[in-house]
Amino acid sequence: MLLGITGFVIIIAMVYLLLKEKAIPISVFVLLPIVGALINGFGAVEITTFVKEGCAKVWPMAALFVFTVTFFDVMGDAGLFDKVVEHSVKMAKGNVTGVLLAIFAIATIASLAADSPSTYLIVMVPLLPLVKKLNIRVSSAMLVTCMAISVMNLLPWGGAVNRACITVGIDSAVMWKPLIPVQVFGWFCALIAVFFISNGEKKRDAGIQNESDDVLSVKMASSAEAEALKRPKLLGFNIALTVLVFVLLFTTDLPNYFIFMCGCVLVLMVNYPDAKQQKERINEHAADSLISVATVLSAGVLVGVLNNSGMITAMANMIINFLPDSMGPYLHLIFGFFGGFIGLGVNPDPLYYGLLPILIEVTSNFGVSPESVAYALMIGGDSIFTLSPVIAGTYMALTVSGLSYKEHMRRSLMPLWILGLLMLGFAMVIGLVTF
């Protein structure tokens, strides 16, 4: 009982402190789980083991942050994105809806890889200057991106479907096919939402009312130092290198951090051959990646302690035991309904490998199929995963967008949850989720 209560207190305190900006994620992710583990009688050796196992799972993402942030920052120094923004501004001509639709389309295509960090990079890095130039809230652009990611993450190679299939014992392709109508429905719901978001931005005077306005000027002000770093003669090489990096991301099994590591070395060596210049570029952008890397490693502490101490399982059992027996046939619907919020504090692994088996076991006594339970948890739990503070991809989103966690959460939480509920309701209508 104490273990479960501690887990709930940790998650509630974590979300409260982050939303109220009372503490930075690093402090919350390290101190809260360690204190919770000590309260439950775990010793220093056991906690150290928990931390090691948790950090071992996230260090590749931490390495990815170092090299992706440096890679794109240096590409920005060299002027790679200047032309993209210039042409985009000319084409958009203040069309807020067009820009947001483009973000949604690009995010949809990029999400085919079911790799949210890559999607954030592909969408936000080149288009963020345009979003700001048109006075569109960055949080709205991120919301549009997250809606596409949430829908597309239900692909058979996506994390939610893969984990659920392992638990249920069904091939991912077989389990995915009935999900296709739900995805299509969710995609069109998200598409409609883009127009509402666009109208909201227009009411805030986003866009350009006068084409002669300075905002349309493609001559971007920059300092003499910034101009000295531009490499217009190497634009072709930089574009080719960037394309190659993403081709390797989507078509090979090479670790993402290794691909960006090699890309980072090449962009530095070719654009800034002098060793002194290379050091200056790395030092200039070190602060951008340091906080993200530290946050991801700290999240590994949180995940490691919650998972390995048994807090997650204890929390799930507490919820199930407190519910009246009459709720048994609807237990999977309840968890589907609140699944997104559960995912805010629970890593996908314990969600699908720890909680899902318990739900399947309990609901089987009421004639509910394992597949129905899995679909409910997948659709509901997937809805808000892009906001989860225990998933490293969230910090990639915050890094490339410049948003605070509070800004991201306030803008996206309710729309993403509603999108998930609409998809869950549609799954019930077509008989995919039964009770």
- The count of domains in the chain is 1
Question: Is there a domain that residue 242 lies in?
Answer: yes
- Please tell me whether residue 420 adopts helix, strand or coil conformation: helix
Question: Is there a domain that residue 172 lies in?
Answer: no
> Per-residue pLDDT tens for 361-416?
778 878 889 899 999 999 998 888 889 887 778 888 888 898 988 899 999 999 99
**Amino acid, res. 84:** V
Buried b / exposed e over 168-194, threshold 16 CB at 10 Å, is: bebebeebbeebeebbebbbebbbebb
Question: Is there a domain that residue 259 lies in?
Answer: yes
> Per-residue pLDDT tens for 14-64?
878 877 778 887 888 899 999 999 999 999 999 999 999 888 877 887 787
Based on the number of CB atoms within 10 Å of its own CB, is 211 exposed (0-12), middle (13-18) or buried (19 or more)? Answer: exposed
Q: Would the pTM count as exceeding 0.75?
A: no
Q: Residue 220 has what pLDDT?
A: 44
Tally Cβ neighbours within 10 Å of residue 230.
16
Helices (H), 20-115: 25-39, 44-78, 80-92, 96-110
Question: Is there a domain that residue 68 lies in?
Answer: yes
**Amino acid, res. 261:** M
As separate numbers, helices (DSSP H) first and strands (DSSP E) second, the chain gives 22, 0
Question: Is there a domain that residue 234 lies in?
Answer: yes
Q: What is the dihedral of CA 80, 85, 86, 89, to 10 degrees?
A: 170
> Per-residue pLDDT tens for 315-362?
777 877 777 777 878 888 988 898 888 777 776 766 776 678 778 877
For residues 220 and 309, the model is more confident at 309
Comparing 84-98, 105-119, 142-156, 353-367, the range with the smallest average pLDDT is: 84-98
> Per-residue pLDDT tens for 275-314?
998 888 888 877 767 777 887 788 888 878 987 898 877 8
Q: Which domain holds residue 100?
A: 58-155+180-208+226-286
DSSP 346: S
160: Cβ–Cβ under 8 A, 6 or more apart, which residues? 153, 154, 348, 352, 378, 381, 382, 385
Question: Is there a domain that residue 110 lies in?
Answer: yes
Enter the tokens of residue 288. Answer: 């951008």
Q: Residue 216 has what pLDDT?
A: 44
- Any idea which residue has 């829908």 for tokens? 151
